[in-house]
């Protein structure tokens, strides 16, 4: 188990566009494994490579549903449907939450760790996680698109 340091806002890497992964190497596979280990250790549901300081287009997501761990290389959203509005947090922005409007259902495609093209359709939290993590690959944080950002106290209460 190799944990990576999660980059914190306002680090500039979080605001840059990640580069396409052109070849899946052992280092890319190690990055995916390390990202999953780091996400689980931090009790998150998603993590993008820029959040561990790597400007590559890779994400990991696990919202605790039947899909389990999803690893995507060069992911892109191919369709969006509906709308949901709710709170989001981020492992790179400690102590804050934001109310963000997202699509209710999204379909994403990308490559798995073996270079096979894969497609996932997610609703609710999975759809939100896909959109949040793919935003990271484009240098966009949830605080950039939130309608309201607020602080969370150590007791877990909202402080505006």
Beta bridge pairs of residue 122: 106
Residue 142 CA to residue 125 CA, distance in Å, equals: 14
Active-site annotation holds for 133 = yes
CB-neighbour burial class of residue 83 (10 A; exposed 0-12, middle 13-18, buried 19+): exposed
132 is in an annotated binding site: yes
Catalytic residue among 12, 66, 83, 133: 133
CB-based contact 41:6 (threshold 8 Å): no
CA 82 to chain centre: 20
| Residue 15 assigned ligand-binding role | no
Distance of CA 45 to the CA centre of its chain: 8
Question: According to the annotation, is 136 in a ligand binding site?
Answer: yes
Secondary structure (3-state) at 21:
coil
The catalytic residue positions are 133
- Annotated binding-site residues read 90, 132, 136
- Annotated binding-site residues for Fe cation read 90, 132, 136
């Amino acid at each position: 188990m190799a944990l990576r340091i999660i980059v914190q806002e306002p680090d500039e890497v979080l605001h840059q566009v990640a580069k396409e992964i052109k070849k899946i190497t052992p280092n890319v596979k190690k990055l995916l494994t390390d990202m999953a280990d780091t996400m689980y250790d931090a009790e998150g549901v998603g993590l993008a490579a820029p959040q561990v300081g790597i400007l590559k287009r890779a994400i990991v997501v696990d919202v605790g549903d039947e899909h389990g761990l999803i690893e995507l290389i060069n992911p892109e959203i191919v369709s969006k449907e509906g709308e949901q509005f709710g709170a989001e947090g981020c492992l790179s922005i400690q102590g804050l939450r934001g109310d963000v409007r997202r699509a209710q259902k999204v379909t994403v495609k990308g490559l798995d760790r073996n270079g096979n093209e894969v497609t996932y359709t997610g609703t609710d939290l999975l759809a939100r996680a896909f959109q949040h993590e793919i935003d990271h690959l484009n240098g966009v944080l949830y605080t950039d698109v939130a309608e309201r950002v607020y602080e969370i106290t150590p007791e877990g209460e909202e402080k505006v």
